[in-house]
Structure 1
């Protein structure tokens, strides 16, 4: 069994088509077909079955593919660790984060880190809370900012790096737009524009409204902070967003008002797998981030080595 066979197998499994896999691998279609056939002969099983014009993994093919993908990720990590050992300032950091942190926080911390280590590369992945947790566990990413912090997850470790207040956002001509602060119950008769289910901000806002004594009437669900801000600014409803999602980016902006009661906040955590060693460059970035947020006392001994 050769590494090339496994690479070709995984690519065909992903594309479900030999021709498309061959094009992406930059090899002849016959070469891919031959390697897959040799692999099946060696294993003594059929890994694929025909489904229309596409190929589909057989049940045993699905089992084999899951294991092979893990092997390929481990191999990729091993190669990366060798390169980092030879040149630690030229490594790659794979980090995930929710959309709301991509407006200001992520660009700020990455820019400051790259000022110190300009050759370090970053691979970014935006996603919802469940997706980021899954990608950390699978090894797809090394670190992730998530909200809320997963306190009770056995396979996830990390630190709360920030507790952020949420503000009410209102149309500019709203009667309460000029107030310094309001009670959330003052918005009980308003139409709310919230994130859809699966986004961590939705239950935070929903629970705050329940605590304030009312169930929010949701008129629209969005997937991005800019969309929600724009709809509120256009007079379509009201919402609650964290401070970091309210940096002005457009001419048409909603009014931001502090909520005095109840206090509405979200925790932002920096997480990693507890059963896997972070690459040296990712350890260094984590150390940098904990210092950046003033959490030096939480830095574990294994993270003390820095790029030098």
Structure 2
């Protein structure tokens, strides 16, 4: 069975007339009749019945028409997707990211990119570290922000985009709320508000506390940075959050205090599948991210070198 036969069949079925179908297809009437005849022979059924000067689909012809239209529609979509794949100014980027980057980083980066490439669309997927790796390996996303950056993985690779400092966040009534810097060990007697199991920030905070000489007492768990901040602001405990998660203050206020020792950081990277060519539009976005965060790092470095 050839695709040409399906095209001819669908056109004749719609026109109910071989001559009119041939005219729209810009081929000879005999060519259309021959292809329809060959298709019927291959299927072993009659697809049309003569009704005066017109043709009428048989019941089995009506059934076959539905399937043929789906096949041709899927083929047309595939051709469009291939063209979009090869066009950096069109198409769709399937982007994964952890919840902690959803408040500021992802919206800001995507908005900046779309100023340069307004026709590019995005499909987003939030998830925890294991699910982002899994979705990447399964081919369900093209790129993913991830933290911590995987040191070694057979099926994914990428680059570290930035290293970010974590700060202690305290209720405004906390005895250390007015300090500029503290030792993490000064919070050893406090109750901690932590991310749940599977979230990448949880082991970072837990390991930092152990390095400071204590095991954190976990009183509450949350799944969003805003939830963590809200619980801390309500006096339910203390926590550690990345600086970018503290850019936008909520209704309930917390105190932000730098941790002098141990220094607590997380790295954020962008990953893609190893040994597989990215869609061209995703490759353009990947290159944009590298430049974007390099410029951001340079700006922050310049600020730190300016004398007060």
1:246 alignment counterpart: 246
Residue 283 in structure 1 maps to residue 283 in structure 2: yes
Query: Which structure 2 residues correspond to residues 149-228 of structure 1 after superposition, within 5 A?
Result: 149-228=149-228
Query: Which structure 2 residues correspond to residues 79-94 of structure 1 after superposition, within 5 A?
Result: 79-85=80-86, 87-94=87-94
Instruction: Assess, with a 3 A threshold, how the Cα gap between structure 1 residues 79 and 217 changes in structure 2: closer, same or farther.
Output: same
- Distance in 1 between the 2:166 and 2:175 partners? 20
* Shift in Å, 1:83: 2.9
* Shift in Å, 1:276: 1.4
Q: Deviations over 1:3-37 (max 9, x none)?
A: xxxxxxxxxxxxxxxxxxxxxxxxxxxxxxx99xx
Normalised to the residue count of structure 2, the TM-score between the two structures is 0.70
* Shift in Å, 1:78: 6.9
* Shift in Å, 1:80: 1.9
1:42 alignment counterpart: none
Instruction: Assess, with a 3 A threshold, how the Cα gap between structure 1 residues 265 and 77 changes in structure 2: closer, same or farther.
Output: farther
Q: Deviations over 1:168-200 (max 9, x none)?
A: 000011110010010000000000000011001
Q: What is the count of residue pairs matched by the alignment?
A: 227
Q: Deviations over 1:218-270 (max 9, x none)?
A: 00111111001000001000000001111224221211100000000001010
Contact 2:88 2:284 in 1 (8 A): no
Question: Which sections of structure 2, spanning at least 5 residues, go unmatched?
Answer: 2-62, 68-75, 296-308
Residue 231 in structure 1 maps to residue 231 in structure 2: yes
* Shift in Å, 1:108: 0.9
- Distance in 1 between the 2:197 and 2:83 partners? 42
Query: Which structure 2 residues correspond to residues 257-276 of structure 1 after superposition, within 5 A?
Result: 257-276=257-276
Contact 1:96 1:132 in 2 (8 A): yes
Question: Which sections of structure 1, spanning at least 5 residues, go unmatched?
Answer: 2-33, 39-74, 296-308
* Shift in Å, 1:77: 7.4
Q: Which has the larger radius of gyration?
A: 2
Q: Secondary structure at the match of 2:294?
A: coil
Instruction: Assess, with a 3 A threshold, how the Cα gap between structure 1 residues 164 and 121 changes in structure 2: closer, same or farther.
Output: same
* Shift in Å, 1:278: 0.4
Please provide the CA RMSD for this pair.
2.4
Instruction: Assess, with a 3 A threshold, how the Cα gap between structure 1 residues 77 and 246 changes in structure 2: closer, same or farther.
Output: farther
* Shift in Å, 1:271: 0.2
Contact 1:81 1:279 in 2 (8 A): no
Instruction: Assess, with a 3 A threshold, how the Cα gap between structure 1 residues 269 and 102 changes in structure 2: closer, same or farther.
Output: same
- Distance in 1 between the 2:237 and 2:91 partners? 46
- Distance in 1 between the 2:79 and 2:211 partners? 50
* Shift in Å, 1:216: 0.3
* Shift in Å, 1:91: 1.0
Contact 1:164 1:266 in 2 (8 A): yes
Q: Secondary structure at the match of 2:145?
A: strand
2:140 alignment counterpart: 140
Instruction: Assess, with a 3 A threshold, how the Cα gap between structure 1 residues 154 and 255 changes in structure 2: closer, same or farther.
Output: same
- Distance in 2 between the 1:135 and 1:127 partners? 9
* Shift in Å, 1:109: 0.8
- Distance in 1 between the 2:133 and 2:182 partners? 35
